[in-house]
Amino acid sequence: MNKMIIKGGHRLSGNVTIGGAKNSTVALIPAAILADTPVQFDMVPNILDVHNLMVILESMNVSSDFADGILNVDPTTINESALPSKAIKSLRASYYFMGALLGRFGRAKITFPGGDNIGPRPIDQHIKAFEAMGAKVENDGDEIIITTDEDGLHGAQIFLDVVSVGATINAILAAVKAKGSTVIRNAAKEPEIIDVVTFLNNMGAKVRGAGTDVIRIEGVESLRAKNTHIIIPDRIEAGTYLSMAAAYGDGVKIQNVIPEHLESFIAKLQEMGIDLQINEDSIYVPKTEELKNIEIKTMPYPGFATDLQQPITPLLLMAAGDSTIIDTIYPKRIKHISELKKMGAKIRYDEGNGTIIVSHTDALVGSKIEAGEIRAGASEMIAGLMAQGTTVIDNADNILRGYDNIIDKLTNLNAVVELVNDES
């Protein structure tokens, strides 16, 4: 486990380039095992989740190699075998192997997935989709066992009771090789879903409607990769740097961005009074002296992303008056609050109405804190850059799970930050 040491007080300036989307990558890698040929991905972020997924691939005799943003995956010699529970439990997105294995073999056996503890995140909608396609799902202790009869999976009408990115992608992965037609209604619309569908369609899948709430799938017998798939830029990483630059920058240009994927976030920054210069694939954040307080409510895409409510919080500390955040997706995503309070932040959680209240704070003080999960860690990291003195963030591996080459990128922006292996 690493800890991140940040010496605050060094204002940020320069350029930063955003990596490939984590939330695409963690679905694309399991999706690769559906292919009947080797697969290559470009713009793969160098994050811990990628390396954990490669460990899972290796357990199935799927070879992979990763260097300079290029990930090669060869599923042609795949074997059914027990998946490593430690790697499965380290990241929530390992549940995509349920849909991928079901689509490949007609069965799957997987340890209950882990990942960030940010409140209840049931997989009942995933199971509902699998069962609609003819699968039988059993829970055996800590394992989920999914089987089909001799006829395998078949097309089905699926209506998701709640909008779920994970359930939408898992249903697609299971359905692309199923016999017949599948229709997923009340599907999630996130750009990462479009990215996964683009990858599958380029291999011969027949999926229409990605990006809308109705997705239609005609099953095919084989998927064969013909080209390298370039992963879309990470809108959550981009939003994190936008918040960081607005909070403590003297002029920062954020490159490799798709502004359309960040419209709800950008609108809130502009509402605060930040005069963003938005270009086709970059956003320049000027130094801003006075900020207005705002109200935020997280919603499914294209609404304000739950993954960005914590990274924007340090910026809200600088605004005049009180800002409020209501997270309708994960109301218990509040691990950052206690840690920011240690630094002097005026922030509290009203459990009665599920509202985070962020008040103007004149100064933050470097402290010893802990990253309880990825986005909480990002919030604390930004606060550490803004603080007077030195901040030590324990469990910094949680930050590394979601942020590509974070130390190099921060250093290039004039931050003074390092990772130290915590052997205690």
The response to whether 23 counts as a known ligand-binding position is yes
Same domain (yes/no): 224, 241 = no
Of the candidates 392, 388, 397, 389, the residue with the CA atom closest to the CA atom of residue 380: 392
Residue 116: is its pLDDT beyond 60?
Answer: no
Same domain (yes/no): 138, 248 = no
Q: Give me 359's structure tokens.
A: 């008040």
Same domain (yes/no): 107, 126 = yes
Residue 331: is its pLDDT beyond 70?
Answer: yes
The response to whether 350 counts as a known ligand-binding position is no
Same domain (yes/no): 59, 175 = yes
Calculate the alpha carbon distances from 207 to 58, 147, 183, 203, 385 in Å.
29, 24, 10, 11, 44
Check: CB of residue 216 under 8 Å from CB of residue 208: yes
Cα-flanking dihedrals φ and ψ of residue 350, to 5°?
Answer: -90, 100
**Which of 207, 230, 253 delimits the end of a domain?**
230
Residue 79: is its pLDDT beyond 50?
Answer: yes
> Confidence band (pLDDT; 50, 70, 90) for 117?
very low
User: Tell me, what's the pLDDT at 121?
Assistant: 52
3-state secondary structure of 423: coil
Same domain (yes/no): 213, 341 = no
- Over residues 232-238, mean pLDDT: 98
User: Tell me, what's the pLDDT at 118?
Assistant: 42
Of the candidates 385, 312, 376, the residue with the CA atom closest to the CA atom of residue 338: 376
User: Tell me, what's the pLDDT at 373?
Assistant: 93
> Confidence band (pLDDT; 50, 70, 90) for 201?
very high
**Which of 210, 230, 250 delimits the end of a domain?**
230
Same domain (yes/no): 214, 252 = no
User: Tell me, what's the pLDDT at 8?
Assistant: 98
The response to whether 208 counts as a known ligand-binding position is no
Query: What does pLDDT average to over the chain?
Result: 95
**Which of 198, 230, 262 delimits the end of a domain?**
230
Residues 6 or more apart from 178 whose CB is under 8 A from it?
103, 133, 152, 153, 154, 155, 217, 219
Same domain (yes/no): 12, 93 = no
Same domain (yes/no): 210, 341 = no
Q: Give me 30's structure tokens.
A: 């399991």
Q: Which regions of 82-199 does DSSP assign to beta strands (E)?
A: 108-111, 136-140, 143-147, 157-159, 181-185
The response to whether 325 counts as a known ligand-binding position is no
Of residues 141 and 398, more confidently modeled:
398
Query: CA angle, corner 306, sides to 41 and 362, nearest 5?
Result: 115
**DSSP string for residues in 233-299:** B-HHHHHHHHHHHHHHEEEEEEES--GGGGHHHHHHHHHTT---EE-SSEEEE---S--B--EEEE-
Ramachandran area for residue 132 (φ above 0: left; ψ -120 to 50: alpha; else beta): alpha
Burial of 244 (0-12, 13-18, 19+ CB in 10 A): buried
What's the alpha-carbon Rg for the chain, to the nearest Å? Answer: 21
The response to whether 172 counts as a known ligand-binding position is no
Same domain (yes/no): 307, 250 = yes
Instruction: Assess whether 408 carries a catalytic annotation.
Output: no
Q: What is the pLDDT of residues 265-303, one digit of tens each?
A: 999 999 999 999 999 999 999 999 999 999 999 999 999
How many domains, in total, are found in the chain? Answer: 2
Domain CATH code at residue 101: 3.65.10.10
Neighbours of 372 (CB within 10 A): 21
Same domain (yes/no): 183, 259 = no
d(CA 365, CA 391): 8
Residue 424: is its pLDDT beyond 90?
Answer: no
The pairing of strands 214-218 and 206-208 is antiparallel
Q: What is the pLDDT of residues 332-384, one digit of tens each?
A: 999 999 999 999 999 999 999 999 999 999 999 999 999 999 999 999 999 99
The response to whether 286 counts as a known ligand-binding position is no
Catalytic residue among 36, 42, 49, 116: 116
Same domain (yes/no): 241, 365 = yes
Q: What domain range includes position 56?
A: 22-230
Same domain (yes/no): 54, 92 = yes
Confidence (pTM): 0.95
Residue 387: is its pLDDT beyond 70?
Answer: yes
d(CA 141, CA 179): 31
- Over residues 415-421, mean pLDDT: 97
